[in-house]
Chains A and B, each alone.
Chain A
Amino acid sequence: MEVLDVLKPETLTEVKSLFTEYQNCKILAGGTDLLLDIKNGKQSPQYLIDLGNIKALKKIEKVRKDIVIGSMVSFKTLSEAKIIKQYFNSLYHSAKGMGSPQIRNLATIGGNIINGAPAADITPCLISLDATLVIESAEYERFISCEQYFIDYDKEKVRENEVLTKIIIPKKKRLTGFYKLGKRNSLAIARVNTAISIEVKQNKIKRFAVCLGAVGRYPFRVLELEKMVVGKSLDYLLADEVLEKLENAVFASIKTRKTMPFKKEAIKGVFKKALENAYGEVIL
């Protein structure tokens, strides 16, 4: 089946009305995944709704205690925005290291989330930063945490009449870091990636979040580990029992996969690199 038309709405209201006018349509963000899928016959929508003309979705704003990122913000914009670098080190590094300059020019944060790839670069960062997704349709607007979105993916994923419009990240003071282990230094898909976020109070860990990517169908947090480190000093993050928890989490997630022996070993190194990235210098 061929794509019959590419619709180019100017506003979000228009997008929502197009859902009722056209059947079998698909939202086109950057197209770096979708267009390949169409070419390879993995997806066959009849209509594409191109969000490229909607300016409202391309903004990064400070709204009270949050940073709100439009779903059509490109990786290039994300990696060059001062506000992102200032508050979310992990997100900045993840955006900067994604794909190649050409891909970063086109690919969007929204597309990276909705495509739902196991090795997505941005998703682990968003989950570890407690990001909330704003999904809209003609009738309603729903808010769901990025974490919950992937835990309950089959139930929560964007439906045909919905569009992801914003990503809201609380602007808290925290140390955040990201590391991706790829087959090469650019244009690489993550073999394993990890994002972490640490809130520190009086030299003790007040809150800790760690999200692992490319070691399961979707990125996931290791809650047991997160609880375990609360109240401890930062050094404790390198303790054997902490690293063991990571290893166990990866093992439990991909037990039967051929890559399991490697990934459960690599996760410990990748985690340490994410910590280094958060601390901003090599201290390990």
Chain B
Amino acid sequence: MKKRGIGYAATFYGTGYGNGFPDESRATVEINANGEIILSVEVSDVGSGGISVMWQIASETLNIDRNLIKLQYDNTSKMLDSGTAAASRQTYNTGNAVLDACKKIKINIDKYYNKVEIIKNKKVLTELYQKFISDNQELKYEGYFKATTSQVDLETGIGEPYWPYTFGINRAIVEVDCETGKVDVIDVVAVYDAGKIVNPVLAEGQIIGGVSMGMGYAIMEEVNVLKGSIKNCNYSDYIIPTSKDMPKVTTYFVEANEASGPYGAKGLGEPAMLPTAPAILNAIYDAIGVRLTEFPATCDRILLELKNKGV
């Protein structure tokens, strides 16, 4: 017999390095003779979508079409340090540095171009460059951002270890086969407050990827260690979800403005997977009354627990 259950779990997650560790990002923006804006930002995009996000922030701030903005990234000999693509910090931290650099050049652009229309023509930028040269304006501008973070006083609990926090909640529906112990995740609804969402399509993808990882963590992934060595260090035996295991995932964003973020944005990377596994375990408990305190909820564990319970 199959039984269904619903489970919820919520998360709040401080982004950035935190606890007083210096968390700095830098970016430079430059106008050149070819009628291009060169944005140099060390955003190492390992699938996070950071490149698109930086590009969008620059285009929005400068009021210049993104095709006229050339983005340089990844080559550390050509650009300043923006920190790591880690701690869900690129959109908020590095995005702020890009915003800072763009605002600086924008002040000078505005002196020569004050129309509301977005700049789409290369010629406009070439003319701007000429005016920058003739008026002896700086061509290159540096942006900088340092996140608010302080160590927590362990005695008093006072301090600001992280700024800002991202909030999220998952609702998972599972189906448990009581005769084989197999768990199928049927449906996941994910709701997040990650501030203003810069790129909704990427953000939705981030959530679906997070749900997939969270689900693997909840019901499949297991590291088998024997005498200190991992026995399943290959994808053939370290089992992660496939497309055939994925539930339907629906995402909603509560776009509460984060005043300190670029256009109100916050980080989403890691929070995207956090509530899924506990929501699934709660749903399993709801379905069959078995409270698992260990990951993953494999068919072995579930079936033996059910038997011990005498269900």
**Given the known A-B contacts A183-B298, A184-B220, are A273 and B245 also in contact in the complex, defined by CB atoms under 8 Å?**
no
Task: Check A265 for interface membership: any CB of B closer than 8 A.
Answer: yes
A270 to B303, CA, bound (A): 12
- Interface membership of chain A positions 246-280, coded 1 if the CB is closer than 8 angstroms to chain B and 0 otherwise: 00000000000001011001101110110000000
Task: Check B264 for interface membership: any CB of A closer than 8 A.
Answer: no
A185 to B243, CA, bound (A): 9
Closest to A282 in B: B2
For B180, give its contact among A100, A186, A270 (CB under 8 Å): A270
Task: Check A187 for interface membership: any CB of B closer than 8 A.
Answer: yes
| Chain B residues with CB under 8 A of A188 | 239
Task: Check A181 for interface membership: any CB of B closer than 8 A.
Answer: yes
A100 to B182, CA, bound (A): 20
Task: Check B241 for interface membership: any CB of A closer than 8 A.
Answer: yes
Most buried by A among B177, B241, B300: B300
Chain B interfacial positions (CB closer than 8 Å to A):
177-182, 184, 220, 239, 241-245, 298-300, 303-304, 307
A180 to B91, CA, bound (A): 44
**Interface range for A:** 10 to 19
For A185, give its contact among B181, B244, B298, B303 (CB under 8 Å): B244
* Min CB gap B287→A, angstroms: 16
Are A269 and B179 in contact, CB atoms less than 8 angstroms apart?
Answer: yes
| Chain B residues with CB under 8 A of A191 | 299-300
Are B244 and A184 in contact, CB atoms less than 8 angstroms apart?
Answer: yes
24 residue pairs from A and B, CB less than 8 Å apart = A181-B180, A181-B182, A183-B220, A183-B239, A183-B298, A183-B299, A184-B241, A184-B242, A184-B245, A185-B184, A187-B242, A191-B300, A259-B300, A262-B181, A262-B299, A262-B304, A266-B179, A266-B181, A268-B179, A269-B179, A269-B181, A270-B180, A273-B179, A273-B180
Most buried by A among B184, B243, B244: B244
Closest to A188 in B: B239
| Chain A residues with CB under 8 A of B298 | 183
Closest to A187 in B: B242
Are A265 and B307 in contact, CB atoms less than 8 angstroms apart?
Answer: yes
Are A185 and B245 in contact, CB atoms less than 8 angstroms apart?
Answer: yes
- Interface membership of chain A positions 173-215, coded 1 if the CB is closer than 8 angstroms to chain B and 0 otherwise: 0000000010111111001000000000000000000000000
Further contacts, 13 of them, CB under 8 A, given A100-B242, A268-B179, A269-B177: A185-B245, A186-B243, A186-B244, A262-B299, A262-B303, A265-B303, A265-B304, A266-B179, A266-B180, A266-B181, A269-B178, A269-B179, A269-B180
A268 to B239, CA, bound (A): 25
| Chain B residues with CB under 8 A of A100 | 242
Are B239 and A184 in contact, CB atoms less than 8 angstroms apart?
Answer: yes
* Min CB gap B229→A, angstroms: 16
